[in-house]
């Protein structure tokens, strides 16, 4: 009987302490990564989107339309900016341009903590960015003809969850 009373007392004490501290909440940072849409086949190193690419960019805006995005990052190429632009316009956001070879990942995570962010890059830079954020070389290759990969990363104080959705 004495043990039961002591156990009840300890449980009650723990419940009271937890109630005084309040619930522990952890900020969630959510990142959506896509590759630029289809581009015009050209010798130009900075081509426009093809008509198919323009349609895909519009589809991305619709797919992401019910998500409240806080910031949109894009590399400074016509094809990435034009892929991001319909989503930026629908969300009322300006594009934040980044250079994939010069990004400070620690600063990026700090600047975007607790936010929902879209990042538009290229077949090689997108995977590098995703792998840096999740802390492992999980994603190795985006097929040259694949433009519908959506990488989703959720980061909390003590957890990183990543998903890949293929949307055609």
Q: pLDDT for 12-23, tens place per residue?
A: 444 555 555 555
User: Which pLDDT value is given to residue 102?
Assistant: 96
**Which residue from 35, 37, 29 is spatially nearest to 53, judged by alpha carbons?**
37
User: Which pLDDT value is given to residue 16?
Assistant: 53
Name the residue ranges covered by the structural domains of the chain.
26-166
User: Which pLDDT value is given to residue 64?
Assistant: 97
Alpha-carbon gap, residue 111 to 105, rounded angstroms: 10
CATH architecture of 26-166: 3-Layer(aba) Sandwich (3.40)
User: Which pLDDT value is given to residue 168?
Assistant: 83
Written as tens digits, the pLDDT of the chain (168 aa) is: 555 445 444 554 445 555 555 555 579 999 999 999 999 999 999 999 999 999 999 999 999 999 999 999 999 999 999 999 999 999 999 999 999 999 999 999 999 999 999 999 999 999 999 999 999 999 998 988 999 999 999 999 989 999 999 998
Contact 89, 67 (CB under 8 A): no
Q: Are strands 116-121 and 149-156 parallel, antiparallel or unpaired?
A: unpaired
User: Which pLDDT value is given to residue 13?
Assistant: 47
The pair of structure tokens assigned to 118 is 């879209």
* Residue 71 parent element (H or E): strand 71-75
């Amino acid at each position: 009987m004495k043990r039961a009373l002591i156990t009840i007392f300890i449980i009650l004490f723990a419940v009271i302490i937890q109630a005084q501290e309040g619930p522990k909440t952890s900020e969630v940072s959510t990142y959506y990564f896509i590759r630029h849409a289809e581009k015009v086949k050209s010798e130009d190193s900075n081509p426009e989107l093809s008509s198919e690419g323009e349609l895909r960019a519009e589809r991305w805006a619709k797919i992401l339309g019910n998500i409240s995005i806080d910031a949109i990052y894009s590399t400074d190429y016509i094809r990435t900016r034009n892929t991001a632009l319909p989503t930026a316009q629908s969300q009322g956001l300006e594009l934040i341009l980044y250079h994939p070879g010069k990004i400070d990942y620690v600063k990026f995570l700090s600047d975007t903590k607790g936010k929902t962010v879209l990042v538009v890059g290229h077949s090689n830079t997108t995977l590098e960015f995703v792998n840096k954020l999740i802390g492992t070389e999980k994603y190795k290759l985006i097929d040259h003809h694949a433009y519908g990969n959506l990488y989703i990363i959720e980061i909390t104080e003590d957890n990183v969850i990543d998903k890949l959705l293929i949307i055609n």
